[in-house]
């Protein structure tokens, strides 16, 4: 992983254009959060409907956002950025959710968001330099997370297939992915070995889901055909439910939410342009695995990983947006892979704006389509769960490797002890972020031990 180390050692130096892009985008996302038009945290979005309709206060909504986001910001977003040298959405957009909702005035929200962007682009460099100058360099140790994250993330389609379609098909997918990883390492050593395996795994999952939906639809058609009498007359069918002239309240809510988002289409187009630009500048990664791929300069592989990841979140983002009237700050995340692959900033601005426009305009259609494809919708839920499970294991394992790299057995003892203490006390820090946070605390403790003459840094 020497290339990762090289990328991360650049000290998070940003050009003026990159600094301005981050600051402007943070200002915009805070403004959208203030208006309750978009937030990054999927868990916060459902609460925004009550806020928009006046059933809860701004301070209460801000408290919810802070409670659901703080652990990810300091336990995952900051350590991941410092370890990879690449910014991520947890570090940028979870704080702007909070700051935007907190701001009592419209004009204050973008100022607070822009200030946070300034803290990120100017403060991370100082924190990075300070950490690397310490006797126990825990940031370099954190780069040990790269390999587990990249390779274990490859397994998420296998896990999703197993959960939805059983052990036989899951085992088959696992064998296929393993063979592809070995083949890629042997034949295409310059390609990230997990990329072709993930592609085939996701295609298998979608294929199994579509096949099940087709079978169920045909079975339903045969059942309807069986209701036709021998004379060719259709038997009378009694339908349950409300009279046809009644309005479905959920359909009415979805329509109002979609209309609310369409009214602010220009703002969303600017947002899409900004996120796509940030991705194109290659200082931003949309996910844990993607951050390290971008740091290594493997933009095609990063685009592929984020494209597959988006398949697990499109149904969630679409349904919560239609139910709450608030969109996702990063949309369906399709602008990530597009931005990674584009050659210059100007096409990124145009493509990002057009992609977000298409997403917002298509929300109602997507909601209806998901209702007609239950197995595909379930596949997205299984994908999202599988991504969480694989990343949790990868981050935990990588964090223990990092603890060992900087402190040997003592490092593992402290980091794993902090992790287990967090579990025993009801997860004060969310599980996904607990292990990296434990590594950072372990690094600080080991440095204190060094200054007290109780610990000698391990030679690397």
| pLDDT single digits (tens) 76-127 | 999 999 889 999 999 999 999 999 999 999 999 999 999 999 999 999 888 8
Question: At a CB cut-off of 8 Å and minimum separation 6, what does 349 contact?
Answer: 273, 276, 277
Question: Does residue 241 form part of some domain?
Answer: no
Q: Is residue 208 situated within a structural domain?
A: no
Identify whether 207 is part of a domain.
no
Question: Which tens digits make up the pLDDT trace of 310-337?
Answer: 888 888 888 888 888 899 999 999 999 9
Total domains present in the chain: 1
Tell me if 162 is assigned to some domain: no
- Does the pLDDT at position 161 exceed 70? yes
Q: Assess contact for 301 and 192: CB atoms under 8 A.
A: yes
Q: Report the mean per-residue pLDDT for the chain.
A: 88
Range of the domain at 283: 2-153+248-451
Whether the CB-CB separation of 49 and 119 falls below 8 Å is answered with no
Note the pTM of the prediction, 2 decimals.
0.86
CA distance 330 to 33: 12
Q: What is the pLDDT of residue 132?
A: 82
Residue 9 — pLDDT band, cuts 50, 70, 90?
very low
Q: Is the residue at 284 inside a domain?
A: yes
In a domain, residue 222? The reply is: no
The arithmetic mean of pLDDT across residues 396-420, rounded, is 95
| Per-residue confidence band for 244, with pLDDT thresholds at 50, 70 and 90 | very low
Tell whether 337 is covered by a domain.
yes
Assess if residue 436 is contained within a domain. Answer: yes
């Amino acid at each position: 992983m020497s290339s990762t180390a090289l990328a991360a050692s650049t000290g998070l130096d940003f050009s003026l254009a990159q600094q301005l892009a981050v600051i402007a985008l943070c200002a915009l996302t805070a403004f959208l959060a203030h208006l309750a038009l978009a937030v990054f945290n999927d868990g916060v979005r459902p609460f925004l409907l009550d806020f928009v309709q006046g059933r809860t206060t701004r301070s209460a909504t801000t408290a919810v956002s802070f409670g659901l986001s703080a652990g990810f910001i300091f336990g995952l977003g900051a350590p991941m950025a410092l370890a990879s040298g690449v910014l991520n959405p947890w570090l940028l957009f979870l704080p702007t959710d909070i700051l935007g909702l907190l701001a009592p005035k419209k004009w204050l929200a973008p100022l607070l968001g822009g200030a946070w962007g300034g803290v990120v682009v100017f403060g991370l460099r100082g924190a990075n330099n300070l950490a690397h100058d310490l006797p126990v360099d825990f940031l370099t140790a954190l780069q040990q997370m790269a390999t587990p994250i990249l390779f274990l993330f490859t397994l998420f389609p296998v896990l999703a297939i197993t959960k939805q379609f059983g052990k036989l098909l899951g085992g088959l997918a696992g064998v296929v992915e393993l063979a592809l990883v070995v083949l890629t390492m042997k034949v295409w050593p310059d390609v990230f070995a997990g990329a072709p395996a993930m592609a085939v795994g996701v295609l298998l999952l979608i294929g199994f889901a579509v096949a099940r939906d087709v079978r169920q639809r045909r079975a339903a058609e045969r059942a309807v055909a069986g209701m036709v009498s021998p004379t060719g007359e259709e038997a009378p069918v009694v339908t349950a439910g409300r009279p046809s002239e009644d309005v479905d309240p959920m359909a009415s809510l979805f329509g109002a939410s979609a209309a609310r988002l369409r009214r602010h289409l220009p703002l969303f187009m600017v947002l899409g342009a900004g996120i796509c630009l940030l991705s194109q500048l290659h200082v931003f990664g949309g996910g844990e695995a993607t951050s390290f791929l971008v740091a290594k300069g493997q933009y095609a592989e990063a685009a592929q990983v984020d494209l597959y990841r988006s398949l697990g979140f499109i149904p969630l983002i679409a349904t919560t947006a239609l139910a709450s009237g608030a969109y996702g700050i990063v949309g369906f995340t399709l602008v990530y892979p597009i931005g990674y692959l584009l050659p210059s900033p100007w096409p990124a601005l145009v493509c990002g704006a057009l992609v977000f426009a298409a997403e917002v305009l298509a929300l109602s259609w997507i909601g209806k389509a998901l209702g007609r494809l239950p197995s595909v919708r379930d596949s997205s839920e299984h994908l999202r769960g599988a991504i969480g499970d694989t990343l949790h294991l990868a981050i935990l394992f990588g964090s223990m490797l990092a603890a060992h790299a900087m402190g040997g057995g003592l490092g593992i003892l402290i980091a794993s002890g902090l992790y287990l203490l967090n579990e025993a006390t009801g997860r004060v820090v969310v599980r996904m972020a607990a292990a990296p946070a434990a590594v950072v605390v372990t690094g600080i403790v080991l440095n204190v031990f060094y200054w007290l003459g109780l610990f000698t840094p391990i030679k690397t």
